[in-house]
């Protein structure tokens, strides 16, 4: 526990130190132009060529899909009579980047939806990929690449990572373009990834400074309206590149992010603590039963019996106190919690208690 405490405090100290550097960010890293976006695609397909690791008989839709596929090839069979273990039903997903053209290739992800044990060695049959408007924007096909493997029998199976999900690099071919018309526009909207009025105001100043004119204004804490100058009307791409590379300092609310599953805590530089005292102690209670054998002496005509010996042990560690003064920095918080021997789980509980008391001047987010 002591080693984990040192590591978590090291990470917190580094996070606070790096935040103080005030590194400038480009607008392209914190915002995007409205309408220039990715589109998610999804489709249902069939992976074939598995070595007996495909869907079992209870996954009836796999055999139904195979029967439909064979029927389109001129072979009519009864799905109830199909007994194969070399196929698997999968969901195929992909992301369609903006401004891609017909014939461009994209990566696709393949995930089993049945009870297949592994997709290792499988090949995805041509699968149409649709967007939310039910239009086919791409088709996917090819061998599935896994990030793990599985082998062995039912009683001695060896598995690494997830063999029921994989990807096909460049396995999707774009058939329908999601066109984005930006040429000739007189106004563009810049949308920040996170809502913050201070950041929006600074972004307006950065855009106006790059264009050397008052062309931008903040509509709210996330949206910035930009008028395209007349000399950039026919050079809209150059104008977008100019705006994207404008530099500014990003601001945000003070926040503490906690991951209770892994014991990870990330604190920003603006996190402050009001006057508060922390008492940290531990109480260890152990209850156990030891079975002792009572053996009678020779020729005593006694009987061998088992005598339970119940023991109760209580260990109480003396509480240790740390006092944090108003406006304490991240480094001071870390040093104080480290001084009382708090581990990652203890620090999480302490921060939650400080927030409940009202002394933590930051948002506490548990993920």
- Say if CB 114 and CB 170 are below 8 A apart: no
Residue 18 has a CB neighbour count (10 Å cut-off) of: 10
Bin 327: left if φ > 0, else alpha if -120 < ψ < 50, else beta. Answer: left
pLDDT number for residue 200: 93
According to DSSP H, which parts of the chain are helical?
A: 2-20, 27-30, 60-72, 197-211, 236-244, 330-339, 344-357
Q: Where do we find the tokens 């790059």? A: 210
Q: Contact 28/244 with Cβ under 8 angstroms? A: yes
Token reading at 109: 């992800």
Beta strand segments in 211-362, E: 216-218, 223-227, 247-248, 255-259, 264-267, 272-273, 276-280, 283-294, 305-316, 320-324, 360-361
The structure tokens listed for 133 are 């408007």
Please choose, from the candidates 41, 67, 260, the residue with its C-alpha nearest in 3D space to the C-alpha of residue 135.
41
Backbone angles phi, psi at 152, to 5 degrees: 100, -175
Kindly tell me the burial class for residue 78, based on how many C-beta atoms sit within 10 Å of its own C-beta (0-12, 13-18, 19 or more): exposed
What residues contact residue 186 under an 8 Å CB cut-off, 6+ apart? Answer: 227, 228, 233
What are the domain boundaries of the chain? 2-21+254-282+318-366, 25-36+181-248, 40-174
Q: Which of 221, 169, 165 is nearest to 190 (CA)?
A: 221
Give yes or no for residue 123 having a pLDDT over 90: yes
CB of 187 within 8 A of CB of 225?
yes
Alpha-helix runs per DSSP H in 245-303: none
More confident residue, 318 or 89: 89
Return the number of other C-beta atoms located less than 10 Å from residue 303's C-beta.
Answer: 8
Instruction: Categorise residue 316: left if φ over 0, alpha if ψ from -120 to 50, beta otherwise.
Output: beta
The pLDDT value given to residue 343: 74
Which whole number is the average pLDDT over 108-113?
A: 94
Burial degree of 195 (CB within 10 A; 0-12, 13-18, 19+)? middle
Strand 145-146 to 149-151 pairing: unpaired
| Coil, strand or helix at 48 | strand
pLDDT for res 33: 92
Kindly indicate the confidence band of residue 14, based on its pLDDT and cuts at 50, 70 and 90: very low
Over residues 191-232, the pLDDT tens digits come to 999 899 999 999 999 999 999 999 999 999 999 999 999 889
Q: In the CATH scheme, what is the code of domain 25-36+181-248?
A: 3.90.1150
Q: Name the least confident of 46-55, 190-199, 350-359.
A: 350-359
At 320, is the pLDDT very low, low, confident or very high (cuts 50, 70, 90)?
A: low
pLDDT digits (tens, 9 = 90+) for 135-184: 999 999 999 998 766 665 555 666 666 788 999 999 999 999 888 888 77
Residue 41 buriedness (CB in 10 A; 0-12 / 13-18 / 19+): buried
* Residue 41: its H or E element: strand 39-48
Average pLDDT, the chain: 80
């Amino acid at each position: 526990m002591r080693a984990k405490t040192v590591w978590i405090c090291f990470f917190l100290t580094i996070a606070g130190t790096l935040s103080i550097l005030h590194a400038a960010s480009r607008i392209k890293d914190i915002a995007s132009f409205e309408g220039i976006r990715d589109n998610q695609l999804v489709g249902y397909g069939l992976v074939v060529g598995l070595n007996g690791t495909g869907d079992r008989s209870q996954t009836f839709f796999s055999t139904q899909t195979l029967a439909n596929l064979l029927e389109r090839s001129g072979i009519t069979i009864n799905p109830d009579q199909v007994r194969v273990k070399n196929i698997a039903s999968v969901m195929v997903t992909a992301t369609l980047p903006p401004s891609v053209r017909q014939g461009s290739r994209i990566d696709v992800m393949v995930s089993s939806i049945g009870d297949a044990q592994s997709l290792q060695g499988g090949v995805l049959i041509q699968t149409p990929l649709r967007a939310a408007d039910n239009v086919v924007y791409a088709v996917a096909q090819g061998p599935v690449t896994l990030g793990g493997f599985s082998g062995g029998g039912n009683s001695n199976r060896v598995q690494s990572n997830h063999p029921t999900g994989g990807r096909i690099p460049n396995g999707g071919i774009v058939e329908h373009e999601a066109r984005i018309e930006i040429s000739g526009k007189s106004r563009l909207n810049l949308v920040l990834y996170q809502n913050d009025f201070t950041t929006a105001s600074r972004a307006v100043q950065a855009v106006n400074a790059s264009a050397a004119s008052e062309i931008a204004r903040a509509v709210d804490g996330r949206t910035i309206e930009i008028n395209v100058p007349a000399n950039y009307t026919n050079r809209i791409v150059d104008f977008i590149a100019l705006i994207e590379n404008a530099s500014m300092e990003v601001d945000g609310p003070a926040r503490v992010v906690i991951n209770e599953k892994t014991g990870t805590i990330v604190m920003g530089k603006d996190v402050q603590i009001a006057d508060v005292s922390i008492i940290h102690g531990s109480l260890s209670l152990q209850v156990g039963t030891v079975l002792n054998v009572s053996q009678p002496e020779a020729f005593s005509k006694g009987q061998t019996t088992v005598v339970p010996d119940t023991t109760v042990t209580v260990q109480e560690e003396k509480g240790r106190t740390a006092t944090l003064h108003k406006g304490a920095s991240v480094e001071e918080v870390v040093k104080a919690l480290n001084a009382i021997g708090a581990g990652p789980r203890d620090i999480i509980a302490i921060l939650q208690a400080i927030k409940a008391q009202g002394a933590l001047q930051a948002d506490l987010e548990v993920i």
